[in-house]
């Protein structure tokens, strides 16, 4: 199993993926799982998706839900917004990465995204209360996927 | 032509008021031509104040995943100068190798994913994935190998962890370096030569726009300066990096929350084109040959050619990485421990060339080796005034084109600088399919 985090941990709830990886490491919850924090370079995942393995991505996601709400979904189940008018390489996120992987045929079959609805994305604030409280639910969704 | 023009391109709506191109012309008179974009990492000082010298580089490397390595190395240099920590020749070589990997990766991605779609007039890289999959796969292959340089030397590509104040916590093995060298020679060099061919086919489509400006970069005696050097202005020559405040002169402008910079003129340019103009005599043959093929000449004053300068640098970095590995191996790898015994406590300045231009960190430490003051000046902030000045000259020259063409030409200009949206978040934006 591979567990990836995407997001900038300096920007409040955008750091939820990194916080989940920290929790997994501290408590050694999924021994043997490969953990990787792509931070804001989502394209780095292209090299790390592994066919034949479970690839789980934890990211802050604007899903139109209550802050702290958690949802697990497959890429095909959602419409991920991609921007095509980038001014900078800094704008390439997970949506763009999936679009590229899909078109190149390098998208592994087994990808699960665990999205957490953020409450705030301000700099230097740490996780908000509802998002911090959502981490156990993220872990149980990963657990469920792992034992499936 | 007496024309009214009102262009307002909002690119980064999540960061309100940032990343906008604003052009306003009334009856043929240009009233406004500006790029409004992000500031240097805000609260930089607050993030670092009170932190120990072990933590500074770790924190700053996390400001931005794309510019992670540049911030980390710049931070280490500032800390080492402030605390009087000498580093070994091997450390400098390994850090230069890291810099080459990061430059290679960023330059290649910028050329293929941002510039090429403009030159092919396809809007974004996504149509290229279908029309030219081999080219996109090549770009990703180059990115991966460039990443792997980081993995081998620093333990991890995105957030390097083994580089610490005073050196490295782990030295790569001879076997790892030999394998890296093999891949650079057998994979990266052919991919680079193919890249030059691809770009050669597109270079003719680069807008023909020139504006003389001041170019500022690092410069060193013995190499194409990326990791270390003096600050060099194309107008006034070299000064030590202790003069960085005089060589940036940050000031506030009303239209942007980000500070602008100027030295000898109203603005200056940093980045690959500045480095090329100041240091082309230090490039290796592969890079110079690429420059010739791509029509990049010394003292180039077309900012759109920044992309071509990035491609040229990629060739330099690939071949110089091989040279560095050869030197490391012929000198013999030493399992040295990082030098972490401060000999003084004061202020130190770090300067490195990151892909987008010269980056500065400055820290002051107290006697407990904790930071009491910190400052950071990023390349994009330095380029903002230059982009505005480019737009002010460019818009009247292309005013007879359609609004769409003008907008695209301005977007291409901004993209040529590959601005760092350092404060951006990368939240996924999704709608569930019902």
Cβ atoms of B273 and B206 closer than 8 Å: no
Confirm if B170 and B162 have CB atoms less than 8 A apart.
Answer: yes
Tens of pLDDT along B255-300? Answer: 766 788 999 999 999 999 999 999 999 999 999 999 999 999 999 9
Tell whether the model's pLDDT for residue B254 goes beyond 90.
no
**Global pTM value:** 0.91
CB < 8 Å to A41, chain B: 65-66, 68, 158
What pLDDT shows up at residue B174? 96
Average pLDDT score, chain A: 88
Q: Give me the DSSP letters along B193-211.
A: HHHHHHHHHHHTTS-----
Question: pLDDT by residue (tens digit) across B338-389?
Answer: 999 999 999 999 999 999 999 999 999 999 999 999 998 889 889 989 999 9
User: Given a cut of 60, is residue B201 above it in pLDDT?
Assistant: yes
A90 and B129 in contact by Cβ < 8 A? no
Mean pLDDT of B401-406: 92
Measured between CB atoms, does B434 come within 8 Å of chain A? no
- Write phi, then psi, for B230 (nearest 5 degrees): -85, 165
Q: Which of residues 89-128 of B touch A (CB under 8 A)?
A: 106, 109-110, 113-114, 123-126
Q: What ipTM was assigned to the predicted interfaces of this complex?
A: 0.82
Residue B139 has pLDDT above 90, yes or no: yes
Task: Give the mean pLDDT of A11-16.
Answer: 89
Q: Are A60 and B109 inside 8 Å of each other by CB?
A: no
Q: Is A17 on the interface with B (CB under 8 A)?
A: no
- Closest residue on chain A to B122 (Cα): A84
Lowest-confidence range among A70-84, B6-20, B143-157, B213-227?
B6-20
Three-state DSSP at B268 gives strand
Q: What is the mean pLDDT of residues B246-261?
A: 82
> Can you give the pLDDT at residue A96?
84
Q: Which of B150, B81, B66, B98 is nearest to B380 (CA)?
A: B66
Please check whether residue B1 touches A, CB under 8 A: no
Q: Averaging pLDDT over each range in A98-102, B161-165, B183-187, B200-204, which range is the top one?
A: B183-187
DSSP state of B15: S
The reply to whether B130 touches chain A by the CB within 8 Å rule is yes
Return the pLDDT at B17: 37
Measured distance CA(B177)–CA(A37) in Å, rounded:
25
Angstrom distance (rounded) from CA B392 to CA B384: 12
Query: Coil, strand or helix: which one is B243?
Result: helix
Contact B159 A37 (CB under 8 A): yes
Q: At what angle do helices B189-203 and B306-331 cross, to 10 degrees?
A: 170
Residue B347: its pLDDT value, please? 98
Question: How far is B189 from B138, CA to CA, in rounded Å?
Answer: 12
Read off φ and ψ for residue B216, nearest 5 degrees.
Answer: -125, 130
Q: How far is A82 from chain B (nearest CA, A)?
A: 8
Closest in B66, B136, B429 to A62, CB measured: B429
Task: Please report the pLDDT score of residue B409 as a whole number.
Answer: 93
- pLDDT score for B430: 64
Q: What is the pLDDT of residue B40?
A: 47
Q: Which residues of chain A make contact with B150, given a CB cutoff of 8 A?
A: none
Asked if residue B1 has pLDDT above 60, the reply is no
What's the angle, vertex CA B385, arms to CA B384 and CA B390, rounded to 5? 100
The C-alpha angle A95, A96, A97, rounded to 5 degrees, equals: 90
């Amino acid at each position: 199993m591979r567990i990836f985090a995407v997001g900038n941990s300096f920007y409040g709830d955008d750091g939820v993926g990194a916080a989940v990886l920290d929790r997994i490491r501290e408590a050694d919850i999924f021994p043997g799982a490969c953990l990787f924090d792509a931070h804001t370079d989502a394209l780095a995942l292209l090299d790390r998706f592994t066919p034949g393995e479970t690839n789980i991505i934890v990211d802050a996601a604007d899903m139109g839900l209550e802050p702290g709400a958690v949802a697990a979904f497959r890429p095909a189940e959602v419409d991920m917004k991609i921007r095509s008018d980038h001014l900078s390489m800094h704008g390439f996120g997970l949506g763009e990465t999936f679009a590229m992987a899909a078109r190149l045929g390098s998208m592994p079959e087994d990808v699960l995204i665990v999205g957490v609805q953020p409450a705030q994305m301000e700099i230097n604030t740490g996780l908000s209360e509802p998002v911090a409280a959502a981490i156990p639910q993220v872990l149980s969704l990963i657990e469920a996927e792992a034992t499936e | 032509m007496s024309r009214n023009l009102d262009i307002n391109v909002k690119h980064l709506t999540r960061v309100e008021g940032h990343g906008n191109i604003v052009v306003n012309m009334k009856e043929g008179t240009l009233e406004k031509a500006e790029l409004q974009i992000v500031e240097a990492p805000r609260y930089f000082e607050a993030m670092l104040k009170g932190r120990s010298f072990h933590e500074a580089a770790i924190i700053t490397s996390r400001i931005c995943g794309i510019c992670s390595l540049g911030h980390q190395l710049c931070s280490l240099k500032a800390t080492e100068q402030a605390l009087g920590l000498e580093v070994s020749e091997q450390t400098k070589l390994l850090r230069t190798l890291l810099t080459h990997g990061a430059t290679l990766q960023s330059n290649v991605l910028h050329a293929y994913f941002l510039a090429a779609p403009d030159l092919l007039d396809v809007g974004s890289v996504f149509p290229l994935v279908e029309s030219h999959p081999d080219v996109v796969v090549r770009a990703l292959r180059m990115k991966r190998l460039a990443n792997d340089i980081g993995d081998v030397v620093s333990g991890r590509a995105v957030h390097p962890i083994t580089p610490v104040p005073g050196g490295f916590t782990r030295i790569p093995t001879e076997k790892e370096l030999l394998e890296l060298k093999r891949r650079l020679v057998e994979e990266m060099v052919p991919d680079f030569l193919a890249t030059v061919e691809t770009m050669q086919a597109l270079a003719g489509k680069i807008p023909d726009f020139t504006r003389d400006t001041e170019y500022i970069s690092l410069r060193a005696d013995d190499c194409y300066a990326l990791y270390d050097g003096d600050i060099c202005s194309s107008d006034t020559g070299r000064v030590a990096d202790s003069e960085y405040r005089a060589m940036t002169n940050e000031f506030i402008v009303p239209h942007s929350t980000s500070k602008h910079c100027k030295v000898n003129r109203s603005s200056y340019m940093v980045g690959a084109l500045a480095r090329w103009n100041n240091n082309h005599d230090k490039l290796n043959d592969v890079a110079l040959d690429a420059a010739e093929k791509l029509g990049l000449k010394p003292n180039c004053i077309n900012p759109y050619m920044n992309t071509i300068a990035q491609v040229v640098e990629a060739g330099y970095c690939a071949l110089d990485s091989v040279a560095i590995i050869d030197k490391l191996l012929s000198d013999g790898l030493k399992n040295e421990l990082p030098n972490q015994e401060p000999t003084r406590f004061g202020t130190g300045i770090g300067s490195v060339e990151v892909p987008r231009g010269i980056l500065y960190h400055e820290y002051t430490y107290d006697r407990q080796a904790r930071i009491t003051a910190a400052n950071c000046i990023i390349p994009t902030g330095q380029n903002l005034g230059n982009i505005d000045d480019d737009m002010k000259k460019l818009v009247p020259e292309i005013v007879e084109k359609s609004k769409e063409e003008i907008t695209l030409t301005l977007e291409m200009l901004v993209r040529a600088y590959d601005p760092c949206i350092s404060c951006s978040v990368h939240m996924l934006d999704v709608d569930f399919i019902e």
